[in-house]
């Protein structure tokens, strides 16, 4: 059995929710971001980072993928270039980092994977606010469920966190102000609240839950 450490790879851990997750994990966080020299949309960059990590620290306990661009436009007005960027940042990056890291966790027969989607992405209804973005996040949820099924025999869990309106320095304020009156709790969520959910999903106590999509949106989907 491969040796597993206590460290957690946080992809996108220098901004917004990702930074809050990395801060909550403290010294356990291994941050991958373009600012730190790792481009999660580039297979070679991910491969080099993963090889370095596995040699220096061994298999991680956890992998948190919380990077991904947002784009708000009607579907018929969505530029193909922007759609391609959305796929690369939200979906391709998740595939690349899981393929690079998760096999070592399977060999260690333990670990946690947390991916980020968006509240409402799994609903059977039109998403007029940002249809291309939500379609890609829905694909990410299905990717996570398939990965969860592959990983379950090795005791590696895979779950999704789907935030609603969360305030941080890169949040889309105009869009959030427009939707806020529909939130039953009457306020925006915080990055600390999201980080708390992630910390539980990374814990030993979450070991019997996998393949789930956890919505954190103040009741917006009710």
Whether residue 71 lies in the annotated active site:
no
What stretches of the chain adopt beta strand conformation (E)?
A: 8-11, 29-32, 62-65, 111-116, 156-163, 166-167, 189-190, 213-216
Q: Pick the closest to residue 9 from 109, 94, 117, 119 (CA basis).
A: 94
Spatial contact of 41 and 91, defined as CB atoms under 8 Å apart: no
Give dist(CA 39, CA 144) in Å, integer.
21
Spatial contact of 133 and 70, defined as CB atoms under 8 Å apart: yes
Spatial contact of 114 and 198, defined as CB atoms under 8 Å apart: yes
Interacting residues of 185 by C-beta distance below 8 A, sequence separation 6+: 218, 219
Give dist(CA 94, CA 77) in Å, integer.
26
Spatial contact of 43 and 50, defined as CB atoms under 8 Å apart: no
Exactly one of 61, 71, 116, 133 is catalytic; name it: 133
**Residues labelled catalytic:** 133
């Amino acid at each position: 059995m491969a040796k597993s450490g206590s460290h957690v790879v946080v992809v996108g851990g220098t901004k917004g929710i990702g930074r809050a997750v990395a801060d909550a994990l403290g010294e356990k966080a291994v941050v991958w971001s373009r600012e730190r020299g790792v481009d999660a949309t580039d297979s070679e960059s991910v491969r080099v980072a993963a090889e370095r990590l596995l040699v220096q620290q061994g298999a991680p306990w956890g992998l948190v993928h919380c990077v991904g661009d947002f784009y708000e436009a009607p579907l018929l007005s969505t530029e193909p270039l922007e759609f391609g960027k959305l796929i690369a940042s939200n979906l391709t990056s998740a595939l690349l980092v899981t393929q690079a890291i998760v096999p070592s966790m399977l060999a260690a027969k333990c670990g946690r994977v947390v991916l980020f989607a968006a509240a409402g992405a799994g609903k059977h209804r039109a998403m007029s606010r940002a249809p291309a973005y939500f379609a890609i996040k829905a694909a990410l949820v299905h990717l996570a469920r398939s990965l969860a099924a592959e990983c379950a025999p090795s005791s590696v869990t895979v779950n999704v966190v789907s935030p609603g309106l969360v305030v941080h320095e890169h949040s889309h304020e105009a869009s959030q102000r427009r939707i806020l009156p529909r939130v039953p709790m009457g306020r925006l969520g915080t990055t600390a609240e999201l980080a708390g959910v992630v910390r539980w999903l990374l814990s030993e106590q979450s070991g019997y839950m996998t393949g789930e999509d956890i919505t954190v949106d103040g009741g917006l989907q009710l």
